[in-house]
Amino acid sequence: MDRQPSKNFFTTLPTVIIGAGFTGLFTALHLRNQNYLCDLILIDPQKQFVFKPMLYELLTEELPEKVVCPDYAELLQGSDINFVEDRVVKLDLQQKQLELATGHSYSYRYLVLAIGSSQGYLGTEGARENAFAFRSRQEALTLRQHLQTCLQRARELEDREDGDGESKKSLLTFVIVGAGPSGVEMAATLADLLPYWYDRLGGNIHEIKLILINHADRILAGDANAHLQQEALQALQKRTIPVELRLGVSVKSVSSDRLTYQNKDREEVLSLPTQTTIWTAGTANNPLLESISAQIPSEHLNRHGQPIVSQTLQLLDFPEVFAAGDCVQVQDQNQPALAQVAYQQGAAIAHNLMALSQNHPLQISNAQLRGTLMKWV
């Protein structure tokens, strides 16, 4: 039997999706696959989708950019989803209106918030300015260029009789802060990639030092992959260049040529000369979230200032607004910030938007972990 929309469902107002990551993009695609007849507007400041689990393959050049970061125009080809490359700067939940950086504005019937999070730096002095993040296409390309430049400069110093040994040492010391999944995968990747690149330049690969720093006393602590700690530790030691671990360490500052840190059980602050600090520790709220949270009662925010949504993924005070991913907390659920969770939540939002259009009851979203994939083999 054909599914028919409820009476008066269709108006001139569209369903707007802010954020075209896993949650937002797949919400839109699921809706179109289910013949959702309301106009769909998908807004994102970037023109390319980023398949974050494959950013390492972009860094290593194992996969071409168009595979890891396909254009939204290509992904949405053949659909009538209206993609808008712009940034939302203002959102009024009461008036159901949003404003874009270009000055355009939209009113909506339903809204999907899928704005994700940004890199956090835990208030560490100089980290934002001097450390390399690894969450976007441009950050991956920038890091690749920097790594190759460091190796090239170190090789040039090696050829010079008057080469500065300390400068060369700092060029060949690479530090990763944060031993969650991203940090562990980065360490495993670089421990094979850097010696491969340096060997091609004719350098001595054994001069490369790769250090993984973590505040906790264990890697993968408190993560969905915690059960893989021993396997990960073994993998990090079996790389071309074994990874040096410094656990139970608090990073105090990051500059362009060094990192300072302190062991938990010591007062002394130590200095580590390095021209490469890669930061994978912590997250921060999307800047738009602050203005959204200001419109929500404090009892409906978690301790990080993020909205709490119902198990049907709706804002508690604005049921016409759906939200998912790592910008919100689902009521009575503790879901990890994984692509597979975001994908399933996108499907759940699409299902519930379809249900609203047909006067059907909404369903609870309960994303199931279907295994994990980490790059260290």
Beta partners for residue 63, in sequence order: none
pLDDT band at 113 (very low <50, low <70, confident <90, very high): very high
Quick one: average pLDDT of 155-174? 86
> For the chain, where are the alpha helices, taking DSSP H only?
22-33, 55-60, 65-68, 72-75, 127-130, 137-159, 165-171, 181-200, 229-237, 287-293, 339-357
What's the average model confidence in pLDDT over 185-208? 97
Count of helices and strands (H, E) across the chain: 11, 19
Q: Do the domains at 15-116+286-357 and 127-283 have one common CATH topology?
A: yes
- Please determine, for residue 241, whether its predicted confidence score (pLDDT) is greater than 80: yes
Residue 212 has pLDDT above 80, yes or no: yes
Percent of the chain with pLDDT over 70: 93
Whole-number mean pLDDT of the chain? Answer: 92
φ, ψ (nearest 5 deg) of residue 209: -125, 130
What sign has the CA pseudo-torsion 187, 48, 282, 371?
negative
Beta pairing, strands 88-92 & 82-85: unpaired
What distance lies between CA 347 and its chain's CA centroid?
20
Order of strands across the sheet with 258-263?
Answer: 249-254, 258-263, 269-273
Per-residue pLDDT for 376 more than 70?
Answer: no
Separation CA 201–CA 189 (nearest Å): 19
Residues with Cβ within 8 Å of 367's Cβ and at least 6 positions away in sequence, in order, are 335, 340, 341, 344, 345, 348
The predicted-structure confidence for 295-320, as pLDDT tens digits, reads as follows 999 999 999 999 999 999 999 999 99
Which pLDDT does position 292 carry in this prediction?
Answer: 97
Other CB atoms within 10 A of residue 5 CB: 16
Confidence band of 37 (pLDDT split at 50, 70, 90): confident
**At 152, is the secondary structure helix, strand, or coil?**
helix
Of the candidates 82, 56, 86, 88, the residue with the CA atom closest to the CA atom of residue 69: 56
371 has a pLDDT exceeding 90: no
pLDDT of residue 3: 39
Neighbours of 92 (CB within 10 A): 14
Q: Is CATH 1.10.1740.10 what the domain over 15-116+286-357 is classified as, yes or no?
A: no
pLDDT higher than 80, residue 1: no
Going by pLDDT thresholds of 50, 70 and 90, the confidence category of residue 116 is very high
Domain boundaries, the chain: 15-116+286-357, 127-283
Domain 127-283 has CATH 3.40.605.10: no
Please write the tens of the pLDDT for every residue from 48-99: 999 999 999 999 999 999 999 999 999 999 999 999 999 999 999 999 999 9
